């Protein structure tokens, strides 16, 4: 602007403030995945019903259980090449940027939506067998072993995908009801909220000398959280889902017209 004679001089901060206050900011964006599962509403609605305490139009029994499960993969143990310095008055913790990789865990967890119970385990990798061990860890104890129904909300990861997963689990645990989220809709799985807490409270900053220390930290926090946990206040309902799908339908229609 000084070259064009609009102003004599102007600072970078002023220009950045003007751009930030503009109504349209094309340099800013965020990635997202447009729902493409043809049964998105149906699959998502079943999960939302469970969170509200119903299944196929009928209230859940008090003894029924709803479990949300998934894996947090490839959690690295990073040994910093210089010691981490603790926080001081007026100053923050200082963590060395460079590190040595000491291996990684897959952290498998199951969250009891209604009772606010958490179960978890560390495995060297994900897969059908490790997930089966998590299921056994939960289902072999009360109240899950004798509950009329135990609904397991899972995504479409390879460890628990499709009808073969349903058959495999119900063959061992007849009272287990597997409920899959729509494709690319892990946000419907409440255990992801717990994983976000673990990421903030346990894994940030990542400074572990060994896999053993990382595992111990994860499992100790799990024990602590089990003592203080309360059910998550899930507020997204079928009505919100209907509004979202209508909005996405309008967006898709406008995009086709623009094309």
Q: What integer pLDDT is reported at residue 8 of this predicted model? A: 65
Q: What integer pLDDT is reported at residue 1 of this predicted model? A: 54
d(CA 205, CA 55): 41
- 32 pLDDT exceeds 80? no
- 22 pLDDT exceeds 90? no
Q: How confident is the model at residue 259 (pLDDT cuts 50, 70, 90)?
A: low
What is the value of pTM for the model shown? 0.86
Residues 216-243 have a mean pLDDT of 96
Q: DSSP secondary-structure letter at 160?
A: G
- 46 pLDDT exceeds 60? yes
Structure confidence by residue, pLDDT tens digits, 87-127: 999 889 999 999 999 999 999 999 999 999 999 999 999 99
Q: What integer pLDDT is reported at residue 7 of this predicted model? A: 64
Q: What integer pLDDT is reported at residue 4 of this predicted model? A: 64
Domains of the chain: 40-231 (3.30.420.10)
Q: Show the tokens assigned to 227.
A: 């003592």
231 vs 4: which has the higher pLDDT: 231
Beta-carbon contacts of 36 under 8 Å, excluding residues fewer than 6 positions away, are 183, 184
Cα–Cα distances in angstroms (integers) from residue 221 to residues 20, 31, 113, 148, 195, in the given order: 40, 32, 18, 30, 12
Residue 192: asked if its preceding bond is cis (omega within 30°), the reply is no
Q: What integer pLDDT is reported at residue 250 of this predicted model? A: 85
């Amino acid at each position: 602007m000084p070259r064009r004679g609009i102003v004599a001089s102007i600072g970078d901060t002023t220009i950045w403030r003007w751009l930030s206050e503009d109504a349209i900011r094309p340099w800013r964006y965020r990635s997202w995945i447009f729902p493409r599962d043809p049964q998105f509403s149906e699959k998502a609605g079943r999960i939302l019903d469970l969170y509200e305490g119903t299944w196929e139009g009928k209230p859940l029994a008090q003894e029924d259980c709803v479990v949300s499960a998934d894996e947090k993969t490839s959690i690295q143990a990073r040994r910093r090449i210089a010691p981490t310095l603790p926080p001081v008055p007026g100053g923050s913790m200082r963590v060395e940027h460079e590190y040595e990789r000491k291996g990684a865990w897959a952290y498998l967890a199951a969250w009891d939506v209604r009772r606010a119970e958490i179960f978890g385990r560390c495995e060297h990798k994900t897969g059908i067998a490790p997930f089966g061990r998590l299921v056994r860890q939960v289902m072999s104890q009360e109240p899950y072993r004798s509950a009329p129904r135990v609904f397991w909300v899972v995504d479409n990861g390879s460890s628990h995908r499709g009808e073969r997963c349903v058959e495999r689990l119900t063959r061992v645990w007849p009272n287990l009801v597997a409920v899959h989220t729509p494709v690319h809709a892990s946000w419907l799985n409440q255990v992801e909220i717990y994983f976000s807490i673990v990421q903030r409270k346990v894994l940030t900053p990542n400074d572990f000398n060994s896999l053993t220390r990382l595992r111990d930290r994860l499992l100790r926090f799990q024990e602590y959280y089990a003592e203080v946990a309360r059910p998550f206040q899930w507020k997204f309902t079928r009505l919100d889902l209907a509004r979202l799908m209508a909005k996405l339908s309008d967006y898709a229609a406008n995009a086709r017209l623009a094309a």
